[in-house]
Structure 1
Amino acid sequence: MRFVVSSTELLRHLNAISRVISNKNTLPILDNFLFQLEGNTLTVTASDLETTLITTLSLENTEGDGNIAIPAKIVIDTLKEFPEQPLTFNINMDTMAVEILSENGKFSIVGQNGTDFPQLPELGDGATSLNMPHDVLLSGINKTLFATADDELRPVMNGIYIELSEDDLTFVASDAHKLVRYKRSDARADVQSSFILPKKPASLLKNLLPREDFDVKLAFDDKNAFFSLTGFKVVCRLVEGNYPAYNSVIPVNNPNKLTVDRVEFYNTLKRVSVFSNQASNLVKLALTSAEMVVSAQDVDFAISAVERIKCQYEGQEMEIGFKSTFLLEILSNLSSTEVQVELSDPTRAGILLPAEKEIEEEDVLMLLMPMMINA
């Protein structure tokens, strides 16, 4: 088996799929890339059993077919040191010896039999498939990924819940303290369905999608999902279980409405939160019609900070407490100039919304649970 490939092109593809390889693989074969040559198409696969990334390259100069597992680290470390040039891979399928021939040298590696590499799962009969706009999928992941949990006891919270319907597409993530719901009315499915996308494949898609120009082909059943992009395929095992009824925790009647400049609010919080208690990160917001007073203190170290911000506020004067780290995360993941905060009372969740929409068809809602001020 033999093929000639551009060093930089191969490195770009391998870098993209190498992110899936775990440092603690249970099977030694998973420390390798699976190279499969069929005609003029080279397919390279990387996997950690739960998630598999596949990339394809079209080559002009090839000879023979076959598959071989080649150590991932040594291939990438070698390719990084080459300037752009054609490399010839000579592979002896009997001895699994791999020779990489460059303009001036020869590099020898020993591979493993490719048949030992785990097989891809197959979708069941009741699988759902659709084309999803790449920008919608990227926005949905970008807006929700930060709010996923790391909860071993409730694995369903450790992923993004994607809900498909004939009217819209909804992405939801929550860690029980904060919740994000991102809806897009310009993307729909023919059938009502849903699945929970784990955090790792979501992060991998987040890195691959900015380079994508076409719709993503999505196919999934109750166990696995296949995302087909241009030149890449992401296959992952889905989180099994039922996602909590997220709509029931979103307060409906919120008469108190605050509108404030997002960047000013963010910068004030950054300064004031330095003075909050390190264990609780509590900041207090005191709201009146024309201004908001942001304060924090750490009694143990006798430090405190107070800062005023101009705002528009309609409703009862109130004081409410939030964990500053969560509030900062939410504000940094909203992209509008002004942010609208809807509140019912100091004991119920606050809803944060962009004051103006970037995209007409999107609906972004972020929710944050308050903290007891006198705790």
Structure 2
Amino acid sequence: MLRLIPKNWKTDTYIIGLVWLSTLLLIVFSHEQPHLHVGEAVYMVFRGLLAVLLLYVLLPRFFYKGEYALFTLSAVLAFAVFGSFEEGVIEPFFFPYTRGADPWSVTGVIYMAIETMPMIAVMTFIKLAWDSKEAQENLVAAHSEKMESELKFLRSQINPHILFNALNNIYSHSLTDTGKAPDMLLKLSDLLRYTLYECSEDLVPLERELVSINNYIAIQEMGLEGRGFIDLHIEGDTQGKFILPFVLITLVENCFKHSFDTQDKGIEIRISIKAGADKLCLKTENSFDEDHRTENEGVKEKGVGIANVRRRLELLSGGEFSLTHGRNGDVYVLELEMPLKTKGAGRD
């Protein structure tokens, strides 16, 4: 029986106890001269035990599991047993010359049930309402925990991906141009510091996200070596604005990967970021060669990154975003609109 009692049993028991006490007080003051007969007190305690049986045993064991017929049958049986005990034992003992003088009868049991029903009904309403509130809170908590776990998984996919590509570029230059390697390592160090230590919050400063994008692009530019060009254009007021982390940099990283995986030369990448009062617009355009032997691999990776970003936006932005992408000839175009938060509203 103890295993069936919910974790909020103390609180709703206090509330139900107040209902029971109020009923007891009604009996006390129902007499011309307020008093409480010991037999009436025994009645109330006995009927309180019936309420405990109904609310803490039968309700969770049958009603909450959808076994309504069993619950109804058990409740009727409980009323019959308690009513019979009251008719056959309590009344003859405490009221031998009044109610106890009559023999046991079904009518007496029904009368006991009718008398008890108002109190049981109020207690049941309170119990159902309280349990419903707890179930809703548990559902919200479970959803929040699921979201947090999913976001951690999505983030774990992003960090190694960016790190792996950057290290590949640095390794290539360490073999051919050792003069560039130290600067690339510094930019990579700052990028990792940002992704590992500064992105634990749901929102990060837009300016810091843009610095990381600049560092990432600088690392990629060093590996471009005349095989194409990169154009980054940022406009708007970025101060005091907050944004979801890993969204922009993931899409920028995919933009590079899509081109690098499908082209050896003639790479063209254009990135435009516009910050408005409460909205940010990102547009990326990258060339690709659909006849390149690694094209399928590149498109597949790009699809994974976009799906990752879309899922994070769905979880954290409440659906307030627009993300479109597709081919326009030999150029892959992606456009994103997402909400920006000001410093005052950035932590809600």
TM interval, short-chain normalised: under 0.3
Using structure 2 for the length normalisation, give the TM-score.
0.23
Using structure 1 for the length normalisation, give the TM-score.
0.22
Task: Answer 1 or 2: which has greater strand percent.
Answer: 1
Task: Answer 1 or 2: which has greater helix percent.
Answer: 2
Larger Rg: 2
